[in-house]
Amino acid sequence: MARQNIAETVKPCPRLEGEVILPGDKSISHRAAILNSLAWGKAEISNFAPGKDCLATISCLRALGVEIRRGGPQNWPTLLVSGTGKDGLKGMVMLKEPADVLNAENSGTTMRLLSGLLCSQPFLSIITGDASLRSRPMGRLIEPLRRMGAEIFGRGKDSFAPLVIKGRELHGIEFSLPVPSAQIKSAILLAGLFARGKTILHQPIPSRDHTERLLKQMGAELKTESCQLNPLINPLAPVSFRIPGDISSAAYFLVAGAIHPNARIVIKNCGINPTRTGIIDVLLDMGAKLKMENERMEVGEPLADIIVESSELKGVEIGGDIIPRLIDEIPVLVVAGCVARGKTAIRGAGELRVKESDRIATVSRELSRLGAKIEPLPDGMVIYGGEPLLGAKVDSHLDHRLAMSLAIAGLIAKGGTTINHAQVVQVSYPAFWQDLQNLVD
């Protein structure tokens, strides 16, 4: 991402009120595009996530010969995917060799999931990304794929992108994931679709399961309890559906409504997949006035409307099995901890060190500029709540989740909070600044 600097200033407001229509869930959008590209037929995916990460996935799939068209309004686009289907003679997906290097931009999901798929394709491919993505660890992706017979290589002794992949016939494996990672799990499952024999995965802690849910909807033989996948016998069936609202995007408004002294926010059509609702569980534990209405299921995914109001929050301990269920929401939970009475401790979240930024370091540093008292730990942080926040100049470090978290802190900080490199919200939530403004007006 180019290092231009577009700054946004957030000021406290007397009232936060309104309704938020969320962008489509980013994780589900990636998977809907990739898996429907492997199906035999056409799918219409509405409310596809509009951010740059998912656009990177679309660009890579097009380079692999998939026909994808976009329609609908800018903030809630519709994706029309014509799947490549399956070659009954070769038993392989009919993707084509890309003429150039594939660019995942800033998207770890794009790089890791497509790498799993490309390992089974009968051609050479190279996939890279921006400077941030090229610094994120890829060794734990390469190891299990190699065990399946893949020829995959990375920079820095197979530790980093760019990745070079020479597709070949794979075999299924039984593998224990060393850390809970939906991206690594999904990459192995995508490779396992076209491998000889079963692929069985063991998870120390369950991570988000959107890939498994969608594969079952499309006809794959998958036992979700044991994460056991059989090779494809018949082509995947395309699935047309509306992507639920992204709970990771909802998190900013859930915290904003809870910490603001005069707020009531309604969040519509939000995905509440139980592998993703750690943010709701923690806020309720902190004392948030939060409730869900109109709960329902759509294409294997649960969703609901969520209402949050001004609350008196208290500090809590956050760690253990809940961490994978809220890893992306930790930056904004730290903001909640800054306002809560008492101490909030976050442990077991070392994965934050290797996100778009070192989120333990950057979240601690930038919120401290606003007057927060935060003690960084190797695998988390301790937040001493109740300190008044004062507006200041802060920086997103080109991390979309940090930019939006700082904006929420600015709503209750005395004076103006100016966030440098605020344009980075385009990665996941292009309409964020407008949606925030609509609640203030």
Query: Residue 3 — pLDDT band, cuts 50, 70, 90?
Result: low
| Cα dist from 11 to 15, 269, 329, 440, whole Å | 12, 28, 22, 10
Determine the average pLDDT of the residues in 379-397: 96
Q: CATH topology of 8-23+244-440 equal to that of 26-242?
A: yes
- DSSP bridge partners of 78: 71
For the chain, the average pLDDT equals 94
Reported confidence tier of residue 38, pLDDT bands at 50, 70, 90: very high
pLDDT at 86: 63
The pTM of the full predicted model, rounded to 2 decimals, is: 0.93
**What radius of gyration, in Å, describes the C-alpha atoms of the chain?**
21
CA–CA distance, 191 with 171 (Å, rounded to integer): 9
Positive or negative, the CA dihedral 98, 99, 105, 108 is positive
**E-only strand ranges, 39-123:** 42-46, 67-71, 78-82, 86-87, 92-93, 102-103
Contact 173, 150 (CB under 8 A): no
Q: Has residue 89 got a pLDDT over 60?
A: no
pLDDT band at 2 (very low <50, low <70, confident <90, very high): very low
Q: Is the pLDDT of residue 88 over 50?
A: no
Greatest alpha-carbon span in the chain? 67
Indicate the domain borders of the chain: 8-23+244-440, 26-242
Q: With beta carbons less than 8 A apart as the criterion, state whether 283 and 255 touch.
A: yes
Q: What is the pLDDT of residues 50-73, one digit of tens each?
A: 999 999 999 999 999 999 998 877
Measured CA to CA, the distance from residue 258 to residue 408 in angstroms comes to: 11
For residue 143, what are the contacts with CB-CB under 8 A and spacing of at least 6? none
pLDDT score for 155: 97
State the pLDDT confidence band at 87, using cuts at 50, 70 and 90: low
β-strand 102-103 against 92-93: which pairing, if any? Answer: unpaired
Of the candidate CATH numbers 3.60.15.10, 3.65.10.10, 3.20.20.10, 3.40.190.10, the domain formed by 8-23+244-440 belongs to 3.65.10.10
Q: Please give the C-alpha separations between residue 303 and each of 222, 299, 359, in angstroms, as whole numbers.
A: 23, 10, 28
Q: Which amino acid is at 153?
A: F
Residue 307's pLDDT is 98
Residues in the chain: 441
* pLDDT tens per residue, range 188-233: 999 999 999 999 999 988 899 999 999 999 999 999 888 999 998 8
- Give the three-class secondary structure for 13: coil
Q: Determine the average pLDDT of the residues in 415-424.
A: 97
Question: For position 374, what pLDDT does the model report?
Answer: 98
> What is the mean pLDDT of the segment spanning 400-421?
97
pLDDT confidence of 93, banded at 50, 70, 90?
A: low
Express as a percent the part of the chain with pLDDT over 70. 97
User: What percentage of the chain has pLDDT greater than the value 90?
Assistant: 89
Residues 299-328 have pLDDT tens digits of 999 999 999 999 999 999 999 999 999 999
Per-residue confidence band for 75, with pLDDT thresholds at 50, 70 and 90: low
Q: How far apart are CA 233 and CA 11, in angstroms?
A: 57
The Cα–Cα gap between 243 and 271 comes to 9
Instruction: Kindly name the residue from 25, 328, 399, 435 that is annotated as catalytic.
Output: 328
For 87-98, letters b (16+ CB in 10 Å) and e give: eeeeebbbbeeb
- The pLDDT of residue 174 is above 60: yes
Enter the tokens of residue 159.
Answer: 């530790």
* Kind and range of the H or E run holding 129: none
Within 13 Å of residue 59, how many CA atoms lie on the same side as its CB?
Answer: 19
* 256-300 residue pLDDT tens: 999 999 999 999 999 999 999 999 999 999 999 999 999 999 999
CATH architecture under which domain 26-242 falls: Alpha-beta prism (3.65)
328 is catalytic: yes
> What's the average model confidence in pLDDT over 396-401?
95
